[in-house]
Structures are given as C-alpha cells and as structure tokens.
C-alpha cells in the first residue's frame, strides 16, 4: 500500500465536479502560498527556553543512503573493535601490535610508523588535516561528517537497530510504549538494555586494548590482573556510550554538539544539503487529489504529505520546513521519499542533495548548476595536500638518530681557578633503531674547546663516546671549557654533532657558548 494512501483515503475524492475542482484549485493555491519557499520567517516570540524532549521513534527505511550508512557503520566499527588485534612485525625488541599507544615507553605505533614524544608535531599535522577535511566535506556537501561518520551517529545507528530488533519498528514500538507493563514488554525492554550495555561494554573494552598488547590485556582483564585504571576506563566508556547512544541520541546533535553551529558559519549557498525541492513538492495534495488537479490543469505538487520523511528521521524533524540545525544530513528522508515517489509513480529525488539556488533557478526556468570546484574547496584541498606532503616528506627523510641540547640556565657560565670559562649542557641522544649504538660527540664553533661528558667511559679520536640502548634515549651532562680570552658578553654559536660509531648519518643540534 502506498504510504500516503491512508491520507488519500481520508481526503474526499474531488471527482470531476467543476465547483469541487475550483475549490481544490483554490486550496492548492493557498497551500502553495503557505508552504512554498521556506524563507526563514523569524518568529517574533522566541517561545519558552525549555522544551521537554519528544521521544523519537525512527522508522526503518531501505535505500541508497541507508546502504551507504550500513557499510560505513560496519567498516568504522569493525576497525575500532578489531584493529588492536592486528599484528605488525617490527623486530625482536619492539611490540608487534599494529596500532599501539605505549604510555610507559612514551611511543605511538601505527603500522610502520613509530612516533616519539619529540615528534608530536605529527599530531598537530594530523589535527590540521582533520580540521581541513571537515571544512572540505562541509563545503562540498554540508554535514557529511555528522550524517555518516561521526561516532555519535554511528553508535546511535547501531543502538537504534538493536532497539528495533528488541522492541519492533516505529509502529510496533509506539504501540508497545502505550501498552501496560506485561511480561512481553518487560522482556523486550530488558533485552534492549542488556544488548545496549553489551555493546557499550565492548566499546569501552576495545578502547583500553589500544594501550597495551591486546591479547595480553584481554587475558589480564579476564583474570582480574589488569590495572585498576583499565577497569575504570571500561566503566566510564560503557556509561558514556550507553547514555549518549542509547538515551540521549539526537539530543547530542541538536543541543550538545558545537559542530552544527560552526558549520552554519562555514557553509555557503553552493554547498549541497539534503533539501526538500519545494518547487516540485508544493502544493501538497493526496495522491487522488493531485491526480484530479493535474487532470484539470490545476497546480499539484509531488508531495503527498505522507510524513514518511519525518518518520524515518533520526532527529525527528520535518525537512520540508527548510534548513534546520537538527538535520544531520543523513539522507534517510531521501530514501523514504524515493520509495514513496516510486509507489505513486512520480519521479524520485523530491528530497535530494541540492541547493536553494538550484530550486530558484528551476522556478525561473533555468537549468540547475553545481559548483563543487570553488575557491574554498580548492583552498581546503590544497592545504590538505600541502600538509600531507610535508608530513610524508618529514617521515620519509627523518633520521633514526637525533640529539637535543639544552644550555644550563643557572649558572650560564663558570670561571675556573686557572681563568678558563666553562659552560654546561644537558644533551639528549636518541637511538630509534632496535640495536644498541655508540656515538662520538663533537662540538664545533669554538677553537680549542675541551669537551667532557660526565659518565662517558671511552673516547674515540679524542671525542667522548656515548652508548645508547636500543629504541631508547639517554641524557648526559656535557661540559665545554675554553682558555680563550672572550669578548665581554660573548655568545658563540656551537654545533653539537653525534656520529654513529658503526657508520650512518650524523645528527646535530645548535646552541651557544656564553662568556662573562
């Protein structure tokens, strides 16, 4: 049965009587005036500041966008839940987990990439890339992130699927909520919350697997040998997932999340958004009424006012009222309306990704146009390519060895009894390989400088040699002394260079030698 047919049946058929037809045409014209172009009538009275939540019962829908959402849900959740179990061979002394945040060793492993604390500028690059990606999505097609990729959307989608499994689709669930508490209702309600809690618990459990070897952590958790902090985090994430995806759902998107407000400031008139094509849809009329109107040349829109687009909406809004901050642009109303249009024999995409500009152009008899390539989309894409290129270059050319130098702050220099001047430095050597390494330290820039490393047992070619363990850093104290007569307030540039004893590329760092 056509989803709009109940409405069509409820409306008296117009038949072909001239008087009835004239009344229909008048009504259609009035409706058209009332419902056409949602032109943002700002209400004079803002209304109460608080409105109690109206529970949303989103109806299941089939279609292109629903399929896309299922695929994205399966891929993103699959990655999140199972990635910690993926192995990556880095050699005998390194962890074999592909993605691992190793807090004790202060390392982040991502497949073949190993990020040290000194390299957290990569994280900055990733954050800028993520921001630009969001801006680009927004400029191309509005809230793509919100509708398809945001964790709140993905988990809410999963929780709603569980809810339908346990308590039925929209109509059945509404009926169930109206019924008194029976054994069946209690059973279904408990089943839903049990399944929600299981998913929430698994979500929290998967999170802690990223912070230690996944297989060992599962064993430790199961045998209650894991640290308290692991159980605490599982508890916190179980609670937040259950609450946000199960209970708060659309309220997070509508009231809590700042992104809808930010994107409202970022978007422009060319961004594609889920749009009700009121030029086609208005004036609304039931199927029979619209047919009668069309048969007599009177205006009749394609919208049959069946409310299917509202019933499937996860935030419970009516897209026909125009742009709305509550619309997460998930496209499910497109699927619902397409199914209705197919059933009533009208062209699909009455609701579609489109722009208001195109609606106005069609109303003026002009062809619609789509401008994906514009200054802002090109700018975002260029920034993303540039940052990706810089990060890839930095990763490809980074050295396995590095040295950092920090001059002593107090005292800046010391005058020795024989008149010589001494500066002291903290020097950190970094060995990112999986073998122990020896480095010869040289300091250039100050002729005849004597270099002494506290704790260095050996020298090579007159230079102190420092051993650094595999995949480790070592900090040493270095004293540089000169007998030269220095100009008052001298600040002489120095270069500290470490040369691997077994060959390899030297690494260096700059600092200064300060005089009295």
Dig out the tokens for 507 from the structure.
């690494």
- C-alpha–C-alpha distance, residues 509 and 425, integer Å: 12
The CA-based angle 119-125-127, given to 5 degrees, is 115
| H helix or E strand, kind and range, residue 401 | strand 401-407
Strand partners, 52: none
- The correct pick among 246, 283, 331, 515 for binding ligand SF4 (CB under 6 A) is 331
Q: How many residues bind ligand SF4 (CB under 6 A)?
A: 29
The interface with ligand SF4 within residues 289-308 (CB under 6 A) comprises: 303-308
Least distance in angstroms from the C-beta of 286 to ligand SF4:
10
Of 196, 296, 279, nearest in space to 243 by CA: 196
Dig out the tokens for 464 from the structure.
């102190």
Least distance in angstroms from the C-beta of 109 to ligand SF4:
38
Cβ pair 235, 106 in contact under 8 A: no
Query: For 453-496, what is the HEC assignment?
Result: EECCCEEECCEEEEEECCCEEEEEEEEEEECCCCCCCCEEEEEE
Least distance in angstroms from the C-beta of 147 to ligand SF4:
6
- C-alpha–C-alpha distance, residues 149 and 135, integer Å: 14
The interface with ligand SF4 within residues 152-181 (CB under 6 A) comprises: none
- The correct pick among 309, 405, 449, 451 for binding ligand SF4 (CB under 6 A) is 309
Cβ pair 162, 190 in contact under 8 A: no
- Angle between helices 214-222 and 183-208 in degrees, nearest 10: 130
Contact track, ligand SF4, 246-275, x by CB under 6 A: ----------------------------x-
Least distance in angstroms from the C-beta of 354 to ligand SF4:
12
- C-alpha–C-alpha distance, residues 286 and 9, integer Å: 8
Dig out the tokens for 109 from the structure.
């492993």
Least distance in angstroms from the C-beta of 319 to ligand SF4:
4
Least distance in angstroms from the C-beta of 245 to ligand SF4:
16
Q: Among the candidate windows 179-187, 327-335, 364-372, 468-476, which touches ligand SF4 by CB under 6 A? A: 327-335
- The correct pick among 298, 317, 429, 449 for binding ligand SF4 (CB under 6 A) is 317
- The correct pick among 350, 403, 446, 480 for binding ligand SF4 (CB under 6 A) is 350
- The correct pick among 206, 330, 359, 430 for binding ligand SF4 (CB under 6 A) is 330
Any contact of residue 313 with ligand SF4 (CB under 6 A)? Answer: yes
Q: Among the candidate windows 35-43, 163-171, 198-206, 330-338, which touches ligand SF4 by CB under 6 A? A: 330-338
Positions in the binding site for ligand SF4 (CB under 6 A): 274, 276, 281, 303-309, 312-315, 317, 319-320, 327-333, 336-337, 340, 350-351
């Amino acid at each position: 049965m056509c989803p709009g047919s109940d409405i069509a049946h409820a409306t008296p058929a117009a038949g072909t009587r001239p008087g009835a037809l004239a009344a229909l045409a008048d009504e259609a014209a009035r409706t058209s005036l009332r419902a056409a172009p949602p032109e943002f009538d700002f209400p004079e009275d803002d209304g109460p500041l608080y409105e109690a939540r109206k529970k949303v019962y989103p109806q299941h829908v089939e279609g292109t966008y629903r399929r896309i959402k299922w695929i994205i849900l399966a891929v993103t959740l699959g990655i999140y839940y199972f990635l910690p179990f993926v192995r990556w061979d880095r050699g005998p002394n390194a962890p074999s987990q592909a993605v691992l945040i190793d807090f004790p060793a202060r390392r982040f492993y991502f497949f073949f990439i190993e990020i040290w604390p000194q390299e957290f500028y990569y994280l900055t690059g990733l954050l800028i890339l993520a921001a630009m990606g969001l801006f680009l999505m927004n400029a191309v097609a509005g809230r793509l992130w919100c509708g398809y990729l945001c964790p709140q959307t993905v988990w809410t989608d999963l929780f709603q699927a569980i809810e339908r499994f346990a308590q039925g689709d929209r109509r059945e669930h509404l009926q169930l909520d109206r019924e008194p508490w029976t054994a069946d209702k209690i059973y279904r309600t408990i089943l839903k919350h049990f399944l929600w809690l299981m998913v929430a618990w698994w979500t929290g459990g998967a999170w802690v697997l990223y912070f230690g070897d996944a297989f060992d952590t599962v064993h430790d958790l199961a045998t209650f040998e894991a640290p308290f902090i692991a159980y605490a985090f599982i508890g916190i994430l179980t609670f937040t997932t259950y609450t946000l995806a199960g209970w708060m759902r659309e309220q997070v998107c509508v009231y809590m999340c700042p992104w809808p407000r930010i994107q409202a400031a970022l978007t422009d008139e060319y961004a594609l958004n889920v749009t009700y094509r009121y030029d086609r849809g208005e004036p609304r009329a039931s199927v029979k009424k619209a047919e009668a109107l069309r048969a007599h040349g009177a205006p009749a829109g394609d919208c049959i006012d069946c409310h299917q687009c509202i019933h499937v909406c996860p935030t419970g809004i009516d897209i026909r009222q125009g742009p709305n901050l509550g619309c997460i642009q998930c496209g499910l109303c497109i699927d619902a309306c397409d199914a209705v249009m197919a059933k009533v024999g009208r062209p699909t995409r009455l609701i579609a990704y489109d722009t208001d500009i195109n609606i106005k152009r069609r109303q003026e008899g002009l062809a619609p146009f789509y401008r994906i390539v514009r200054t802002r989309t090109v700018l975002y894409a260029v920034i993303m390519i540039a940052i990706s290129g810089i990060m890839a270059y930095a990763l490809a050319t980074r050295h396995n060895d590095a040295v950092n130098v920090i001059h002593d702050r107090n005292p800046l220099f010391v005058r020795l009894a024989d008149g010589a001047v001494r500066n002291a430095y903290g020097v950190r050597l970094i060995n990112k390989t999986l073998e122990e390494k020896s480095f010869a330290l040289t300091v250039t820039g100050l002729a005849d400088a004597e270099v002494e490393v506290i704790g260095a047992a050996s020298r090579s070619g007159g230079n102190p040699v420092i051993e650094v363990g595999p995949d480790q850093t070592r900090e040493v104290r270095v004293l540089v002394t000169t007998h030269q007569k220095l100009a008052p307030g001298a600040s002489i540039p120095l270069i500290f260079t470490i040369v691997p004893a077994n060959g390899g590329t030297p690494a260096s760092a700059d600092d200064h030698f300060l005089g009295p």
